[in-house]
Amino acid sequence: MSQEVFSALGNQTRREILSHLLTGPLSVSALVEEFPLSRSALSEHLAVLRNADLVRDVPHGQQRLYHLVPDRLREIDEWLSPFESYWRDRLSGLRDMRETEEQ
């Protein structure tokens, strides 16, 4: 399900691509200048992100502008939420558990 989203985010370069897109849509050639990578390598990273629907591209003249699809990252947030409850419960009640757990 969200397997693709998580594994896409498992790569440093792809996370940086997403961060760059925070400032607005960017073309492939604009992005490639930010990385010590060939254009084809970057193009494949974009394909992974596209496949996970984390980005989409819009034709713009003879280039393609990539932009974020922010909703996808909500999946991460949703997966995270049971853990957030976990650590909230942890901090509120059971401080004495800690001393025994940390050696």
Partner DNA sequence: ATCATATGACGGATTTTTCCGACATGTCAA
Partner DNA sequence: TTGACATGTCGGAAAAATCCGTCATATGAT
Contacts to its own copies by CB under 8 A: 3, 6-7, 9-12, 15, 18-19, 22, 56, 58, 67-68, 70-71, 73-74, 76-77, 79-80, 82-84, 86-87, 90, 101, 103
Residue with tokens 């419960």: 89
**Chain centre distance of CA 40:** 20
Contact of residue 93 among DNA, its own copies, none (CB under 5-8 Å per partner type): none
Q: State CA 43 to chain mean position distance.
A: 16
**Cβ at position 37, least distance to its own copies in Å:** 17
60, containing H or E segment: strand 55-60
Site string for DNA, 29-48 (x = CB under 7 A): x--x---xxxxxx-xxxxxx
| Partner in contact with 98, chosen from DNA, its own copies, none, beta carbon below 5 to 8 Å by kind | none
List Cβ neighbours of 91 (8 Å cut-off, separation of 6 or more).
none
Measured from the CB atom, the residue of 42 and 72 that comes closer to DNA is 42
Label residues 84-103 b or e (16+ Cβ within 10 Å = b).
eeeeeeeeeeeeeeeeeeee
Min. distance of Cβ 101 from DNA in angstroms? 16
